[in-house]
Structure 1
C-alpha cells in the first residue's frame, strides 16, 4: 500500500460527507437505531459497528485505519494517551500469577506500570538489559507471558534486537509488545520482524504540533478486538473525535516532517560530537555507537532525538547551560515543530540525589527550525560552562 495513499486517502469515504476534502469531526457520542433487530445486531458486533463513541467513532476509525496500514497491521485501536495504549496492551496479556520481562529504563510511566502497578495485582516483572538477548533468555520463567520492548529506549537510546527477541518469545509462547514512538511508523516496522503488538504515543510525531495527546496499539485483528472488548471498553481511555481529527491532520505532513527532523538532527549532532565541552553524544546512528549496525538493520532512518553528556562537574554548570538556551524549549515531551531539551538535572533535588541517570545528561529533540539557527544557540550556551 502506497504511503501517499495511506495518509491522504485511506479510510476517507468522501462521498459519504459531501465530498469534503478534510474528513468531518463526528462529535456525536450516540448513534440512533431504527429497529430492535438493528440494535441487537450492532450490540453483537460492537467491535465493527457504530453504537456509542466510547467504542467506535467514524472520525477515530479513519485514524485507526491509517495507523494500522502504516505499521503493516491488520487493525489498530486509538487511545487518549500513549500510556493508556501501553497499559491496555500490557494488561491484555497478563493475569495474576504471570510474569513479565521488560527492558530496563523504558518511558517513565511504562516503568511505573511495570514496577508499581502490575505487582499490586500479582504480576511479577523482571527488568533486564535489552542490549543483550541473553538477558531476556535468562529472565524467562515458566509463567512468563510477555516480553516488553522499547527500541530505542528513552534518554540513553539502547536498542533491542527485535527479530531475535521475537524468535525467543515464540519459543516460549510469550507475547511481545514494543513502544515504537522513537522511530515513528515510517522508520521502523516491528511487526515485520515478528513483534506481536506495536504501541505509539501519537502525542509525538503523529500529531506533530504539540497540541493533542493520544496513543495507538497496532496488531492482529484478533488481539486488537480482545483489547477492545476488555481493557478499552471497560477502562474507557478512548480518543475523542476532535483529537483523532488533529492526528489525521498531523499524518498529512508526517513524511515531510520526519525527513526534515532527521536531516537537521544529524547536522546538530555533528556539531556537538566534536565540541570540547561535550563528553559524549548518545545516538544509535553514530558510527561510534556500540549498536550502530543493529540500528541500520532495524531502522530506515534516524529521528530527532538524542542525548548528550556534558563535561560538567556540577548541577550548577548543567543548569547554567540549559537556562542559557534561547531557542530550545525546556519541556517533557517531543515530536512537535519546536526543538526541546529535557535535562536529567531537573530530577535532582540536590547534589546528593541518587538517580539511575547521570546529572550531566541532557536529552534533545530537534524540531523544524533551521539547524544553523539551533547550532548558534548551542554555541552560546556551551560557552557558559
Structure 2
C-alpha cells in the first residue's frame, strides 16, 4: 500500500502544474475539441503517433491527463486510460486482446454488460467464453485451452462478493502467456492493489467511489505503457469512447475526498451490519470482511478494506414481503450503482416476474444495500421501520 504522504501527493499534486494555469488550486477544464500547430513537422509527428501529444480531444486532453496520472499512480500502474463508462473500459480491455478463434475464461456471473459482451457480442467474431467458479484456482487451470488469451476476473463481485486469489491466478496466467484483467470497482485502488499481485490490467467503474457524487459516468483502465498505447491506438480512438474533459474534472474533484469518504462509509457500514445481523427477519448478511464470510481469510490477505456494499438475505416467503420492505424505506433510495453520497438498495427479485419467485432460492431473497455518507443511526432507523412494515 502507498504510504499516506504519497497518497496525499497523488490526490492533491501529481500531474498538476499550477504554474501553467495562473496558480489556480483547481485545474482548468480544457473544453476544446482540438489543438493548433505552428509547424507542419509537429503536426506530422502527432499524425504518426497520436499518443505523443495533443491533437484532438477524442484522444488526449490536458484535463484528462491530470486524471490519468493520478489513477495510474493509485493503482501502481505505468499508465491509464479513462473511458466514458465502466462498460467501455471492460469492452476495450477484452476486445484488444482477442481475435477470431480465441477463447476467454471468465468468473461466473460477471457484471451484466461484461456477460452480454461474452455471450452476445464476441461469439459473432468466433470468440468463446468458459465461465468458472473463481473461488478455486483449479477451476481456472481446468478451463484453460490452447487458444485461451484472456482471464477475466471480478474480485469481489457485486452481489455475493466471491473472491479470486489474484496472485495465484496471475501466476497461472503468466506461465501460459494469458492476459489477466480484473474489475476492482468494489475495492477501489485504496483498498486493493491487483497490479502488485501480478494482474496485467485493472479496471473500475469510476462512476462509483472515484466520482463519489452520483453525477458522472466513467470507467478506468490501468496497466503497462505498451498495453495502454495498444488500446488507445485502436479501441479507444476507433470507438471514440474516451471520457470528456468536464467529466474528467469531476473525477479529479471526487478523488480529493476519496480517502475521507471511504473511511466514513466503512465505519458506518460496520455499524449497519452489526445491527442487521441481530434482526430476526434478516437470515444472513454477506460482506467480505465479516468473519463469517466463507472467504474471509483470503479477503483479509488481499483487501485492505471493503467499503459500503453488502447483501442481506431476508426471511421472506413471498415476493410481496420484499416489495413491502423496499417500498417502505423513507430515506434509502431504490436504484442501481453505488459509491455516491446516498444510500441505495436493490432487490434481486426486481429482475424476476412475480410468478418466478421461489423463496427456496436464496438468490431470490437477496437485497444489495449500499451504505452512503449518512449518519448510521439515520440509516438503521430507516431499515428498522421498513422491516417492521414487513412483519405487520
TM-score > 0.5, shorter chain as reference: yes
Q: Which moved more, 1:347-356 or 1:64-73?
A: 347-356
| DSSP 3-state at the match of 2:317 | coil
By how many angstroms is 1:44 displaced? Answer: 2.3
Runs of 4+ in 1 over 6 A off after TM superposition: 354-357
Does the 8 Å CA contact 2:357/2:364 hold for their aligned counterparts? no
Match of 1:146 among 140, 144, 150: 150
Structural mapping, 1:324-343, within 5 Å: 324-343=328-347
Q: Which moved more, 1:355-364 or 1:156-165?
A: 355-364
Structure 1, residues 75-108: CA drift from partner, whole Å, max 9, x if none? 0000000000010001111111000000011111
By how many angstroms is 1:115 displaced? Answer: 1.5
By how many angstroms is 1:229 displaced? Answer: 0.4
| DSSP 3-state at the match of 2:355 | coil
Match of 1:94 among 94, 98, 102: 98
Q: Does 1:70 align with 2:70?
A: no
Match of 2:387 among 375, 382, 385: 382
Label 1:326 to 1:307 Cα distance change in 2 as closer, same or farther (>3 A).
same
Match of 1:370 among 343, 362, 375: 375
| DSSP 3-state at the match of 2:109 | coil
Structural mapping, 1:279-318, within 5 Å: 279-318=283-322
User: Which residue is equivalent to 1:359?
Assistant: 364
| DSSP 3-state at the match of 2:50 | coil
Paired with 2:52 and 2:267, the residues of 1 have a C-alpha distance of 41
Structural mapping, 1:6-155, within 5 Å: 6-155=10-159
Q: Does 1:198 align with 2:202?
A: yes
Paired with 1:178 and 1:88, the residues of 2 have a C-alpha distance of 13
Does the 8 Å CA contact 1:283/1:306 hold for their aligned counterparts? yes
User: Which residue is equivalent to 1:266?
Assistant: 270
Which runs of 5 or more structure 2 residues have no equivalent in the other structure?
none
By how many angstroms is 1:357 displaced? Answer: 7.1
Match of 1:345 among 346, 349, 354: 349
Paired with 1:199 and 1:277, the residues of 2 have a C-alpha distance of 36
User: Which residue is equivalent to 2:185?
Assistant: 181
| DSSP 3-state at the match of 1:320 | helix
Label 1:154 to 1:22 Cα distance change in 2 as closer, same or farther (>3 A).
same
| DSSP 3-state at the match of 2:46 | helix
Label 1:169 to 1:239 Cα distance change in 2 as closer, same or farther (>3 A).
same
Paired with 2:214 and 2:333, the residues of 1 have a C-alpha distance of 12
Q: Which moved more, 1:310-319 or 1:349-358?
A: 349-358
| DSSP 3-state at the match of 2:242 | coil
Q: Which moved more, 1:140-149 or 1:36-45?
A: 36-45
Which runs of 5 or more structure 1 residues have no equivalent in the other structure?
none
Q: What TM-score does the superposition give when structure 2 sets the normalisation length?
A: 0.96
Q: What TM-score does the superposition give when structure 1 sets the normalisation length?
A: 0.98
Does the 8 Å CA contact 1:315/1:351 hold for their aligned counterparts? no
Paired with 1:266 and 1:116, the residues of 2 have a C-alpha distance of 39
Label 1:320 to 1:353 Cα distance change in 2 as closer, same or farther (>3 A).
closer
User: Which residue is equivalent to 1:163?
Assistant: 167
By how many angstroms is 1:358 displaced? Answer: 2.2
Taking only aligned residues, the RMSD between alpha carbons, in angstroms, comes to 1.3
Paired with 2:189 and 2:126, the residues of 1 have a C-alpha distance of 33
| DSSP 3-state at the match of 2:368 | strand
| DSSP 3-state at the match of 2:356 | coil
Count of equivalent residues:
385
Q: Which moved more, 1:218-227 or 1:37-46?
A: 37-46
Does the 8 Å CA contact 1:265/1:304 hold for their aligned counterparts? yes
